[in-house]
Amino acid sequence: MSALSKRRLRTWIRLLRLTRSVEADLRDYLRTAHDTTLPRFDVMAALYRQHGDVTMSELSRMLLVSNGNATAVVDRLEKDGFARRTPSPGDRRTVHVALTDAGIAAFESMATGHEDKLDGLLDRLTEADLDSLRDILRRALPDADPSHTPAHAVADKEPT
């Protein structure tokens, strides 16, 4: 194993440790402050970003989970009045799901606290650190375009 290979392995372990630590803190925050789970938050976030109905299959693809997992979370959201399902008029097998007004309000409250919590967890990173980290992580992605110009090299930066 080369020295570079060992450094990549150590870097992966650090990334994994950071991810697990932040995720554990966020799970705890959502449980204690909002009596909810990270999967529920993720489903609500996906629905919120869509600004309307999505099919259950689309939701599963967005979240990279099985239809069964998405269905179980939506079942609980629907029971709590945060989501509604509507059958597709053209295809009885297709069901659309969206947040209710109560779901939107609950998500917006959770999202504000989630962002504040995450900001506190990563508050040692400067804007320059975040820009560098974003560019490095983009290059590390398996489908990264090797000709990608780093964001700091162009006039109109993409927001992080």
Angle at 26 between CA 128 and CA 19, to 5 degrees: 55
Rounded to two decimals, what is the model's pTM?
Answer: 0.79
Q: How many residues does the chain have?
A: 160
**For 92-131, what is each residue's pLDDT tens digit?**
888 999 999 999 999 999 999 999 999 999 999 999 999 9
**For 57-91, what is each residue's pLDDT tens digit?**
999 999 989 888 899 999 999 999 999 999 988 88
Domain map of the chain by residue range?
21-118
Specify the CATH class of 21-118 in words.
mainly alpha
Structure confidence at residue 146 (pLDDT): 53
Residues 112-126 as b or e (16 or more Cβ within 10 Å = b)? eebeebeeeeeeeee
